[in-house]
Structures are given as C-alpha cells and as structure tokens.
Amino acid sequence: MLMDTRIRDYGPLDEQPVVELSLRAWAPVFSSLAQGLGREIFVRLHGDWRQYQEQDVRDTLADDATKVWVAEAARGVVGFVAAKLHPERQIGEIWMLAVDPDAQGRGIGTALTEVATGWLREAGMTVAWSRRAVTRVMLPHGASMRRRAIRCFLWPGTSRPCDPRALAQPQRSRPHPL
C-alpha cells in the first residue's frame, strides 16, 4: 500500500503541489456542500470555493504555529496533513488533511493521520481532534467514525468514546484522560 510513498516534513517547494492536490481532493466535498446548502447560502459562505480553499491552504502552510507533513510518491506529492497544538488545553488539532483522489484508498490518509497524532502525543497533548473533517476518517487504533461536525482521535488502547462537548469546556476535568 504505502510501499512507494514516504511521509516527510513539508518544505516551501511543496506549496503549489499541496494546493493543487487539495483542490482536487476537496472538490467533491464542496460540491456536496453546495447541494446541501443551496447555491445562494453556499456562495455567501465560500464565494468561489476554489479561491477560498486555495487561500485557506496557503495560509495554513505559511502559519509558523502549524506543523505540516506531505506524502510523496514517485509522481510527486500525493497528500498532506497539518496539525496544531493547543497546549493550554492539552489538545492537538488535525487542522487539514487531504489525499489526491488518484492516490486515495491506499492508506495514505491513515498514515498521515498517524504521523500527526504521534507528533501531538509526543508534544504532550492528551486529545487530538479535527472539526474540519467531513469525510470518513480512520482513527489511529483502527476504529472509524462517520460524518460528524467534530472528530476526536483517541490514542491506541483507549476504548472510551470521545465527547466533543468536553473540548469546548476546558475548566471541567477532562472526561477522557489518556
């Protein structure tokens, strides 16, 4: 599956390939959003989604507080993941994740997620989550979660469900310490 793909740190020369693959990867997502929301609301929220998404990706890549990795195959960059730390709450965030449609289904998204969540764990975060995920995501311990507004990733060996409401209330004790 990943035999011809390696994951490495993002570099400045990766910017354009990452932007291009992200637009291909998210085209079906934005199409679905446009259908679900209706054209008028969708345009108000996103305008030209390609310009909106391109700027969002470029801003993420330029953000010094965001750690980014790319998956590289023989034909070039085929995926990326961006993660952020929220140390005051011991929460790590999978900010963006995309795999080129031609490379999907080979475990690249899962491998990128594992690299990012490993980094978050090493940085001392006790929970990793992604509020931006809108497609099925494989969790590090092999379970999957279906479409939700917020996704929580628990480290391997954890069987408790992750309650996204707890993430919004840092003053309470965390119900799912790891």
> Is 176 a domain residue?
no
Q: Which domain holds residue 66?
A: 6-167
Query: How confident is the model over 77-103, as a mean pLDDT?
Result: 94
Position 36 in a domain: yes
Domain presence at residue 93: yes
174 within a domain of the structure (yes/no): no
CB of 154 closer than 8 Å to CB of 160: yes
Asked, for residue 162, whether it belongs to a domain, the answer is yes
Domain count, the chain: 1
The string of DSSP letters for 102-136 reads: GGTTSSHHHHHHHHHHHHHHHTT-SEEEESS--S-
Structural contact between residues 106 and 1, judged by C-beta atoms closer than 8 angstroms: yes
Strands 76-86 and 66-73: antiparallel
pLDDT tens-place string over residues 27-46: 998 888 888 888 889 888 88
Helix, coil or strand: residue 10: coil
Residue 178 belongs to a domain = no
Task: Name the residue with higher pLDDT: 134 or 101.
Answer: 101
Whether residue 122 is contained in a domain is answered as yes
Task: Note the pLDDT of residue 132.
Answer: 60
pLDDT above 80: residue 123: yes
Quick one: pLDDT at residue 59?
A: 97
The CATH number given to whatever domain includes residue 119 is: 3.40.630.30
Query: Is 177 within the bounds of a domain?
Result: no
Query: Alpha-carbon distance 122 to 9, whole Å?
Result: 16
Q: What ranges in 38-159 are assigned the alpha helix state H?
A: 39-46, 49-62, 108-122
Mean pLDDT within 95-107:
93
- The percent of residues above 70 in pLDDT, for the chain, comes to 72
